[in-house]
Amino acid sequence: MHGMQDDTQLLDCIVRFHDIRRLAELERCVFSLVGQRYRPLNIVLVLQRFSPAEVAATEAGLAPLLQLPGAPSLTVRNWNQDGIADARTHLLNCGVEAARGRYLAFLDYDDLLFPEAYELLAAQLRDREAAIAFASVQVMQVEVRDRFFRTIGPQTPTYRGRDLGDLFDHNFCPIHSYLIDRSKLPADLLRFDPTLTIEEDYDLLLRICAQHPADFSLIGTEIGYYVYKTDGSNTVGQAGGLDGEKLALYETVQRRIRERKEMTAVSVAIQAQLGLPHPRNGLSIQDLHRQLRTNGRIRQKLGELTGAR
């Protein structure tokens, strides 16, 4: 199992930050972590190739928040390798290496969590003895104006999906909608594929949930905001409106995700949990999902025939 502090309930939240010009957004993100009811909480802030002056400016910007009574502790890592333009996955791995607590969470610098988020998720992990617990987040569209956000129009619905079968089909769980119990996972599993810059978190979720118990009881309970910005600075996870290099990258990543589903075996226990009639060793995520869809169509047809009588 992963190296952790002994006899602790420490929760590490990894926050990636790559652009000092976005410091105001990071301050909002950290403010939502200061407001968490769960303790003990440690923020692992991973910077991307910041200069000493930028590191100092970041720490100074966060200092008023982190000096509040009972505020979380802060661990800062500055990822400095050259030659990689988009290092978002490397930042995640750097954060995982720095984390030492039992629980592991992720929050991007431009997203927000409600005060009860980690308290609810940690309770689910303990009560259900799961390795990972999921909740929902609300998508909030905002216009970015200097240091201020302006919400525009109604908030859009949460991501569509409700259970493990849906997750094996598509990613409906943003990176800050779940909490991981590292005591229930092998150490080498918690590593992101550094060749992925889109869907890197989905790739990890597939590998975790294919072999270890996941809890989806809190789906429908919103624990935060995914902030969708009108300035186009969000990572694009779908093909709509893409062209050129961005479209090519998206298609390459989708091919890699399909390959992951083809090569990743689902444990017999997880197959049984999903209601597969005859679980067997070696069944891949893709084969399992295909069989579940077939069984679903058969049940629907039987229901129609029964109803017709």
Stretch 281-309: mean pLDDT, rounded? 72
Taking the domains of the chain in order of start, what are their residue ranges? 11-263, 268-308
Q: How many whole angstroms separate alpha carbon 258 and alpha carbon 93?
A: 23
Stretch 116-123: mean pLDDT, rounded? 98
Cα distances (Å, whole numbers) of residue 217 to 49, 205, 221, 222, 264 = 39, 17, 9, 12, 24
Query: Which CATH number is 11-263's, of 3.40.190.10, 3.90.550.10, 3.40.630.30, 3.40.50.970?
Result: 3.90.550.10
Report whether pLDDT(6) > 50.
no
Stretch 84-96: mean pLDDT, rounded? 94
Report the percent of the chain where pLDDT is more than 90. 72
Q: How many whole angstroms separate alpha carbon 37 and alpha carbon 39?
A: 7
Stretch 16-21: mean pLDDT, rounded? 96
- Cα 285 from chain centroid? 19
Query: pLDDT confidence of 234, banded at 50, 70, 90?
Result: low
* Residue whose pair of structure tokens reads 């987040």 in the numeric block: 137
Dump pLDDT digits (tens) for 130-145: 999 999 999 988 876 6
For residue 67, give every residue at least 6 positions away whose Cβ sits within 8 Å of its Cβ, in sequence order, or none: none
Query: pLDDT confidence of 304, banded at 50, 70, 90?
Result: low
Share of the chain residues as helix, strand and coil, in percent rounded to the nearest 5: 40, 20, 35
